[in-house]
Structure 1
Amino acid sequence: MANLTQIRIFLLLGATFLFLYLLGCLFDADVNVVKSIHSTYGHFGSTTRRGKCTPARNIVFIKVPKCGGSTITNIFQRYGEKHNLSFLLPRAGIPSIDASDIRDHIGDAVNLIVNHVHFYEKFMKQLMPRDTLYIGVLRNPMGYLKSYYNYAEKGITKKGVNVSLADFEENPWKYPDLKVRQNRQSSFYGALDKGATPKGIEEFILHVDSKFNLILITDHMKESIVLLGELLCWSMEDMLYVSHKVSTDGQLGEKSTTSFEHTTNMALAERNYRIYSPLDYAMFEFFNKTLWRKISAMGKSFDDKFRKFDAMLNNLQNRCRYTSESLGLSDEYIQSVIKEDSDSEDYLCHRMLLPSTQYIEYILRPKQNII
């Protein structure tokens, strides 16, 4: 009888271990599926294990100034308008969203935050739904410096002395009155707790990487937008765009970004700016590599989609850029855009050409009944 009992216990233990082993294999298989999804597309909250996806509705976009953010914001604005989504908008007459704007709306139904805003992690997590996708954008620091320096007219000090971009690049520490902020791009993602030490920079970047689903790179806009479309599970038409650097030149009234030129000694300029803004450089290089790693992981699938998207984009941009009615932001033009039927041939072009501030003032804010 004792032997029989021992045999039963042995068989029971064996069955238990077999069950645990099979369960472990199943768990590993699930983990591998998830890893495969993440390695291919990044942290795709909208993608399921069966390979199907649901179009994303809840998005935070950290729109860093002078990084092509207006072009990207227009994509989000068009989609949100089309699908009657709710935006957290800047207050009237204010270009950006601050922490108090977010805090004051905690408890409200908000789908999209896509205008100039810093990453206020605590308040955003309290306001936004759990399935919110966090998107950011960065730009090569030297290109960013030129655009920011020229747009903000940093070439004149408080003492009225003209300082060219080239002079600044060759010795940025010589001109403290210019107040060109160090690490300005990365400041939109938070503050360094431990200073700009190698370890502090590494921890900061890894924290941002853990919180964001995708960081777009302005220098590779088309590739970034294709990857973003995969993440959002949106159609190619949803992701089409007209560069707002092109659409706002001259007739649409933005300041020129070609007032000053880089120094001819770009090796010196880059070396200096790496010291001046080390976190911006580290952020850009990390997320640029991350972008291309994600693209590479998609393989031929990405190449096929990129070619198709590129062809659609070229056709549309050639048509939209020369839309005859877009002669400037006159009241007549804006009213025609507001009242235009969605079946109109130029409807998409007109929506794309409308700058973010006018999109908010004349279309999004009235639809949400926000003053």
Structure 2
Amino acid sequence: MNILFRFGESRNLIFAFPHRNDNVQFFYPQYFNASFVEGYAKKSIRNFDIMCHHMRFHRIEVEKVMPKDTFYFTILRNPVSLMESSFMYFKGSHIFIKAESLEEFIKNPYKLYNKTSKYSHLGRNFMTFDLGFDHNGPEPTKYFKVIHKVLKTMFDLVLITEYFDESLVLLKEALCWSYDDVLSFPLNSREENNQEILSVETQEGIKIWNQLDWQLYVYFNKTFWKKVEKFGQERMQQEVEELRRRRARKSEICIQDRVNANDIKEKYLKPFQPRLAKIMGYNLKSGLGKSERSLCQSLVTPELQYSRYLLRRQRAITFKIKWFHGLSNLI
């Protein structure tokens, strides 16, 4: 999101924002609907350039908002690490509250899992749900064949979290962007000591329990490396090294230190903290020039604060345009 926010802001592009922007979600976990977008229902904004806020994907509704030549991409994550992360983020919710640990949940999923809950997707096949399919779907193998065929036609590119830099290089290539456009620092990540080390048994149990997600990940992981092969292995290695070199250089310029939320000096840069997950953030170096500080700050601003800033900015621009047209009509 940070990459897309910065790209759009620097070029004065129009974002499709949720019309209730309290948590940067399009009324999640409902299926996305075009009416959820600010300015769409009233036709006050006719052309949107970027849609990147959290949603349960519904292509037909998205197409009502976005142009015909829109580039669609998404990102998948290993279901094992995703499940561990989900458990830490949502342990306090009724989805996991009966389980003392993720290991206990995976040993007794049918006893501890409530499939009728509005938020049951947090506990099973999270990605399948977000992509618009039934996360409790029947006969995983047959149902998966339907899912992957549909997704192949819906998305121009599927990125892989575990190969994030390689993913950024492919995205840069597909969109004809520059290194600076895809440059990023890790955001919304937890302290290392806040991450649970899972046994092999638990990991295998997670794959079985999240079978749709696992098959999805395995399939698109293979297609990802086919794209890398086509791009060129040696060329990929060189571009990843260049991207990392630029990131390290930018980090030396911008970052004083990476710290837990309580030690962040500027409140504006403090990330949202779930109940149990401890999210890290950054302190910027002092003495930065105005332009340097502006860029550095944009690189480390959490999604909630950045989204709200961009929404206020877009509303102000829209208001000025309306006011100008109104005045010209009077003249």
For the superposition of Structure 1 and Structure 2, which TM-score range results when normalised by the shorter chain? Answer: 0.7 to 0.9
Match of 1:275 in 2: 208
Match of 1:75 in 2: 3
User: CA 1:127–1:314 in structure 2 vs 1: closer, same or farther (change >3 Å)?
Assistant: same
Query: Is 1:136 the equivalent of 2:83?
Result: no
Match of 1:317 in 2: 251
Q: State the number of aligned residues.
A: 281
User: CA 1:313–1:204 in structure 2 vs 1: closer, same or farther (change >3 Å)?
Assistant: same
Amino acid paired to 2:296: C
Query: Is 1:101 the equivalent of 2:30?
Result: no
Matches within 5 A, 1:34-183: 73-90=1-18, 91-97=20-26, 98-99=32-33, 100-102=35-37, 105=40, 108-154=46-92, 163-176=100-113, 179=120, 180-183=122-125
Query: Is 1:359 the equivalent of 2:306?
Result: yes
User: CA 1:162–1:318 in structure 2 vs 1: closer, same or farther (change >3 Å)?
Assistant: farther
Match of 1:189 in 2: 131
User: CA 1:271–1:165 in structure 2 vs 1: closer, same or farther (change >3 Å)?
Assistant: same
CA–CA distance in structure 1, aligned partners of residues 155 and 289 of structure 2:
33
Matches within 5 A, 1:300-315: 300-315=234-249
CA contact (8 A) 2:77 2:162 kept: yes
Amino acid paired to 1:294: K
Query: Is the partner of 2:74 in helix, strand or coil?
Result: strand
CA contact (8 A) 1:171 1:272 kept: no
CA–CA distance in structure 2, aligned partners of residues 218 and 131 of structure 1:
25
Percent of pairs identical after alignment? 26
Query: Is 1:298 the equivalent of 2:219?
Result: no
Matches within 5 A, 1:161-310: 163-176=100-113, 179=120, 180-192=122-134, 195-245=138-188, 259=194, 261-264=196-199, 266=200, 268-299=201-232, 300-310=234-244
CA contact (8 A) 1:102 1:124 kept: no
CA–CA distance in structure 2, aligned partners of residues 279 and 157 of structure 1:
23
CA–CA distance in structure 2, aligned partners of residues 314 and 270 of structure 1:
33
Q: Quick one: higher RCO (CA 8 Å, sep 6+), 1 or 2?
A: 1
CA–CA distance in structure 2, aligned partners of residues 122 and 153 of structure 1:
34
**How many angstroms does 1:202 deviate by?**
0.9
User: CA 1:94–1:263 in structure 2 vs 1: closer, same or farther (change >3 Å)?
Assistant: closer
CA contact (8 A) 1:136 1:216 kept: yes
Q: Alpha carbon RMSD of aligned pairs, Å?
A: 3.2
CA–CA distance in structure 2, aligned partners of residues 96 and 153 of structure 1:
20
CA–CA distance in structure 1, aligned partners of residues 185 and 74 of structure 2:
19
CA–CA distance in structure 1, aligned partners of residues 146 and 39 of structure 2:
30
User: CA 1:158–1:208 in structure 2 vs 1: closer, same or farther (change >3 Å)?
Assistant: closer
**How many angstroms does 1:262 deviate by?**
4.1
Amino acid paired to 1:167: E
User: CA 1:101–1:328 in structure 2 vs 1: closer, same or farther (change >3 Å)?
Assistant: farther
TM-score (norm 2): 0.75
User: CA 1:350–1:206 in structure 2 vs 1: closer, same or farther (change >3 Å)?
Assistant: same
**How many angstroms does 1:363 deviate by?**
3.5
Amino acid paired to 2:218: E
Q: Encode CA deviations 1:44-103: one digit per residue, 9 max, x unaligned.
A: xxxxxxxxxxxxxxxxxxxxxxxxxxxxx0000001000000001122314301423149
**How many angstroms does 1:188 deviate by?**
1.1
Q: What 5-or-longer segments of structure 2 have no aligned partner? A: 27-31, 271-283, 320-331
User: CA 1:211–1:157 in structure 2 vs 1: closer, same or farther (change >3 Å)?
Assistant: closer
CA–CA distance in structure 1, aligned partners of residues 78 and 269 of structure 2:
38
Q: Encode CA deviations 1:125-170: one digit per residue, 9 max, x unaligned.
A: 122111100010110000000111101125x768975511222233
User: CA 1:327–1:274 in structure 2 vs 1: closer, same or farther (change >3 Å)?
Assistant: closer
User: CA 1:102–1:344 in structure 2 vs 1: closer, same or farther (change >3 Å)?
Assistant: closer
**How many angstroms does 1:200 deviate by?**
1.8
CA contact (8 A) 1:205 1:283 kept: yes
**How many angstroms does 1:332 deviate by?**
10
CA–CA distance in structure 2, aligned partners of residues 365 and 231 of structure 1:
30
Matches within 5 A, 1:26-37: none
**How many angstroms does 1:260 deviate by?**
6.2
Query: Is the partner of 2:72 in helix, strand or coil?
Result: strand
CA–CA distance in structure 1, aligned partners of residues 128 and 251 of structure 2:
31
**How many angstroms does 1:104 deviate by?**
7.1
CA–CA distance in structure 2, aligned partners of residues 304 and 120 of structure 1:
37
